[in-house]
Amino acid sequence: MANGTETSEAPQFDKLIHELNHRIWEVRRDACDELGLLGDKRAIPALIRMLQDGIGGVRFAAAEALGRLGDPAVIPDLLRLLGDSLFGTHGPVMEALTALKAKESVPHFIRFLRDHDMHQRRVASNCLRELTGHFVNFDPQGREELREASAREWEAWWQQNKESFLA
């Protein structure tokens, strides 16, 4: 074994890293997916670079792959994306942060409960529940005042538990 991968996987790893520069976005997306599945942490710098790709599908695949690789060192890179309105849907980033058990993502997820996009609200609610083990009744399709009340309940819970919370 070399760097956590078997030597028979080295040609596959090199091929996938090369495909991250392919002109066809689907090839780049698939390479990100495969690198995440391969489990070789040497792919992390290249996948972080792919978070800036011009195509959303590639960025999402890179975020998912980083979550699969399980290295908490990527948490700051993923957290930065939650503040980037140009990133598009943040669901894959929230799911990657949840997979990484990133405690520092909780306030961001609470913010996404107030997002204009119902899908973003749903993912944020699911990620909060999975990450914290805490349940707040939140309907991403519910009336705005009910969603706001639930978001305030999450905020109060987080204020009370953030110091002692262990993901």
Domain ranges (residues) in the chain = 1-74
Which residues is 2 bridged to in the sheet? 5
pLDDT digits (tens, 9 = 90+) for 11-66: 899 999 999 999 999 999 999 999 999 999 999 999 999 999 999 899 999 999 99
Give the type of residue at 20.
Answer: L
Query: Regarding the domain with residue range 1-74, which homologous superfamily does it belong to in the CATH classification?
Result: Leucine-rich Repeat Variant (1.25.10.10)
C-alpha distances in Å from residue 116, one per residue of 29, 121, 142, 150: 27, 8, 12, 15
pLDDT of the residue at 166: 76
With vertex at residue 39, the alpha carbon angle to CA 33 and CA 41, rounded to the nearest 5 degrees, is: 105
Which tens digit of pLDDT belongs to each residue from 68-104? 999 999 999 999 888 877 666 799 999 999 999 999 9
| 75-84, 110-119, 156-165: segment of lowest average pLDDT | 75-84
Q: How many CA atoms lie within 13 A of 154 on its CB side?
A: 29
